[in-house]
Amino acid sequence: MTILFRPELVYTGDRFEGGKQIVVADDGIIQGIEDWSIADSGEVAGATIENLPGRAMLPGMIDVHSHSFQRTIRGSVESRLKAGPNFWSWRDAMYRAANRFSPEELYTIACMAFMEMALAGITTVGEFHYVHRDRDGSPYENPNEIALQVIRAANDVGIRIALLRVAYVRAGFNKPADAGQRRFIEPTSEEFLTNTDALRSALRESGESAWIGVAPHSIRAVPIDYLREITAWARSERLPVHMHVAEQPAENDACMEEYGTTPFALLDREGILEEKFTAIHGIHLSAGEIAALGRSGAIIGACPTTERNLGDGILPADALMRAGVRIAFGSDSLTQIDPLENARELEYNLRLKQLERAVLDNVDGTALPQRLFACSTVNGAASLGANAGTLAPGMPADFFSVDFHDPSIAGSGPEELLASIVFGLAKTAIAEVAVNGRFLVQGGRHQRQEAVIRDYAALMRRQAGVYD
């Protein structure tokens, strides 16, 4: 049955418009965005009407970089005693979490992470998935056992997922094997490609709810011959490719030691930088590398809430945007799941560094709120190869709505509403979230919220040795 969604305002790409209804077909695809008036508010033959008074509707947001299992270490690593002074010592605490949980427990954790994303207005996630093996490092009978559990979690919560299957080979150049990485390793490109193609086959009936991408973890974790082979395969299959690049200065130093050049220069030389490539983080860049990124069409997957938590550094977003580089957002370690907080941080970090305001305003000819919201939507969709990110005929009806009466945006008119949302929205204002025109969240609560929280809390109590 056709559904007519009637919010007070609809975000149509660069502004809010009133008096519009979204016409959604049985298959969840938007048929049209039409004018309507209160005089037409009676029953419509063959249609269900969803009146959303006091609401503004926006396209669902995209999270391009998630490690769902890292939700379990939130709050437990915020001291030097527990996680040391830097990224590399924090990583050891993260490895302990990666080696702790069974596939079924990782499903429970992913449900919690993805539900929290839905509550934040996220309707599509890119899961950078590298926990492949059993806790002793041996393969499961189905090498994609955990990947399928994570995908099942996304399906049960109701959001779309790009499972970005990670290639992980080694601890680094001239480094001994690290026992903390034993669940990640697939030692040959043949094994990785066989398992990745098997996962793609298993998802063939999923349509636009779940699909795969290829994710060489990093230059330090994947040697160049392996990297060439798997990225060539991904390119031939038109799959998105994501990779951690230049998150820490030590990565650049190690790449220089092994290859005599920096990670971005190496990827550019190898022809790996292109429109379907997303460089996650991409913080420590030279001017020449920024120019190369602009020429290539590659995307930067920025994760400011994690990058500030780990002390990674500040993304040179102004220089990247001037070079024509698109930026998308990810929540990464899930320290905080809030794409709009990522948007604020992208801008505010530059304000603190440059002692100026509105640094990214009109950098590429677009007003600041519109540009930052595009990073949360259309740029994320491009990064994941998702048919999402806009409200338009022919697109899936993936959206979130905000409540005008929430204190964080109360009093904002249509002209300043997007700026109020980007720079001031509290998550309490997110009222409804839908995927394919079907509500996941209503009245600020997810339809499975009580059960998901109960199961996750019980799991974490068991892990802590606390029993009911």
- Tell me which residue range forms the domain holding 275: 61-384
Mean pLDDT of 356-372: 94
Confidence of residue 424 (pLDDT cuts 50, 70, 90): very high
Task: Look at residue 402 and tell me if it is in a domain.
Answer: yes
Same domain, 36 and 82: no
Local structure of 71: helix, strand or coil: helix
Mean pLDDT score across all residues of the chain: 95
Mean pLDDT of 238-264: 97
Alpha carbons within 13 A on the beta-carbon side of 457: 7
Concatenated DSSP letters of 130-186: ---S-TTSPPPSSTTHHHHHHHHHHHHHT-EEEEEEEE---SSTT----GGGTTT--
Mean pLDDT of 183-208: 95
How many whole angstroms separate alpha carbon 403 and alpha carbon 428?
9
Mean pLDDT of 71-82: 91
Same domain, 243 and 106: yes
Give the domain CATH number at 439. 2.30.40.10
Tell me if 279 sits within 8 A of 300, measured CB to CB: yes
Of 30-34, 39-43, 299-303, minimum mean pLDDT range: 39-43
Both tokens assigned to 288:
């020449």
Give the domain CATH number at 193. 3.20.20.140
Name residue, tokens 């990225």: 231
pLDDT(38) > 70: no
Same domain, 76 and 210: yes
Task: Look at residue 463 and tell me if it is in a domain.
Answer: no
Same domain, 219 and 368: yes
Active site residue 281: yes
Same domain, 335 and 422: no
Burial class (CB in 10 A: 0-12, 13-18, 19+), 432: buried
pLDDT(123) > 70: yes
Total domains in the chain come to 2
Same domain, 145 and 20: no
Strand order of the β-sheet with 326-329 is: 61-66, 122-129, 160-167, 210-216, 241-245, 277-281, 299-302, 326-329
Name residue, tokens 């919010």: 7
Same domain, 120 and 256: yes
Task: Look at residue 30 and tell me if it is in a domain.
Answer: yes
Tens of pLDDT along 100-115? 999 999 999 999 999 9
Backbone angles phi, psi at 102, to 5 degrees: -80, 165
Same domain, 412 and 326: no
pLDDT(39) > 60: no
Same domain, 275 and 417: no
pLDDT(265) > 60: yes
Of 75-84, 206-215, 315-324, minimum mean pLDDT range: 75-84
Task: Look at residue 453 and tell me if it is in a domain.
Answer: no
Task: Look at residue 227 and tell me if it is in a domain.
Answer: yes
Mean pLDDT of 107-132: 98
Tens of pLDDT along 379-410? 999 999 999 999 999 999 999 999 999 999 99
Tens of pLDDT along 157-178? 999 999 999 999 999 999 999 9
Same domain, 283 and 422: no
Same domain, 68 and 200: yes
Mean pLDDT of 46-57: 94
Considering the candidates 63, 312, 332, 398, report the single residue annotated as catalytic.
332
Backbone angles phi, psi at 24, to 5 degrees: -120, 130
Same domain, 409 and 371: no
pLDDT(63) > 90: yes
pLDDT(7) > 90: yes
Tell me if 346 sits within 8 A of 372, measured CB to CB: yes
pLDDT, residue 402, reads 98
Task: Look at residue 457 and tell me if it is in a domain.
Answer: no
Active site residue 332: yes
> Above pLDDT 90, what percent of the chain?
91
Task: Look at residue 459 and tell me if it is in a domain.
Answer: no
Considering the candidates 281, 398, 403, 446, report the single residue annotated as catalytic.
281
- Run of H or E residues at 103: helix 103-119
